[in-house]
Amino acid sequence: MFSGAQVSLYPMTDNFVGIILQAIDALEPYRSTFRIETDDISTLLVGPPDQLFPAMRDLFVAAAGQGIHCVLAATVSRGCPGEPDDPICTPINDSSHEKPLAERIAMAVERVSAAPKTGQIVAAQFSLYPLGSGHHMDEIYGCIDFLKQSGVFDRSKNFCTKLRGDAGPVFATLSEAFLRFGSPQGHVALDLKVSANSPTAA
């Protein structure tokens, strides 16, 4: 299964080049399992779906940890039918999609509760798109129920959901939303913005 993300970092500082390059160094531990390509717009991460959000977490925390206002924008996808098959991409393991929605929600909440803390507070907003499923709205509503139990739910907004909390549980929540809702073999996309150290946090 083709799984990956296009990720862009926006540090709000004159030293944005140094911060971006230093943050990219945080991806080094993932290079053995990911294809990582950086250009003048974004960094491509292609690899196991369960490692995408830990990699983005480490990238973002490395940038935001310097105390400057920083934003991450990402488009995340798995199972896109328009992408070539790649040995580095694998189907979701232990997705438990055969289980009822309520059980998947409980499993996702349990995973988030075990997520390690980073010490970096973030806000995030995202939209989940389980494409090509006859019951996609059931999956979306199930995801929303999970988000409300995640411990980092902030509020519903037009076209998206807002999260707030430590980057560890927030990125774990995003990962669980991506992995557990929508068909395990189908195309699922997620649109994401994450912010830290905003001078107008609200």
Q: Which residue type occupies 58?
A: D
Instruction: Indicate whether 81 pLDDT > 80.
Output: no
List the structure tokens of 138.
Answer: 């059931």
Cβ neighbour number for residue 15 with a 10 Å cutoff: 11
What is the predicted pLDDT for the residue at 201?
Answer: 65
Higher pLDDT, residue 84 or 153: 153
Confidence of residue 92 (pLDDT cuts 50, 70, 90): low
Instruction: Indicate whether 99 pLDDT > 60.
Output: yes
Task: Name the nearest CA neighbour of 59 among 202, 201, 200, 196.
Answer: 196
Distance of CA 30 to the CA centre of its chain: 15
Q: What percent of the chain has pLDDT over 90?
A: 72
Q: What CATH fold (topology level) applies to the domain 3-196?
A: Alpha-Beta Plaits (3.30.70)
Mean per-residue pLDDT, 161-177: 98
Q: Where are the beta strands (DSSP E) in the chain?
A: 3-11, 35-38, 43-46, 70-78, 121-131, 153-157, 160-166, 187-196
Instruction: Indicate whether 87 pLDDT > 70.
Output: no
Instruction: Indicate whether 188 pLDDT > 60.
Output: yes
Instruction: Indicate whether 95 pLDDT > 60.
Output: no
Instruction: Indicate whether 121 pLDDT > 90.
Output: yes
Higher pLDDT, residue 137 or 33: 33
How is the chain split into domains, by residue range?
3-196
Burial class from Cβ neighbours inside 10 Å (0-12, 13-18, 19+) for residue 126 reads buried
Confidence of residue 1 (pLDDT cuts 50, 70, 90): low
* Dist CA 37 CA 70 (whole Å): 21
Burial code (b: 16+ CB inside 10 Å, e: under 16) for 164-189 equals: bbbbbbbbbbbbbbbbbbbbbebbbb
Least confident of 69-73, 126-130, 193-197, 198-202: 198-202
Mean per-residue pLDDT, 112-119: 97
DSSP 8-state assignment for residue 195: E
Confidence of residue 146 (pLDDT cuts 50, 70, 90): very high
Instruction: Indicate whether 128 pLDDT > 60.
Output: yes
- For 6-51, the pLDDT digits (tens) are 999 999 999 999 999 999 999 999 999 999 999 999 999 999 999 9
DSSP 8-state assignment for residue 30: G
**Between the CA of residue 164 and those of 121, 193, 196, what are the distances in Å?**
7, 12, 10
Task: Name the nearest CA neighbour of 9 among 18, 1, 151.
Answer: 18
Edge-to-edge order in the sheet of strand 187-196: 35-38, 43-46, 3-11, 70-78, 187-196, 121-131, 160-166, 153-157
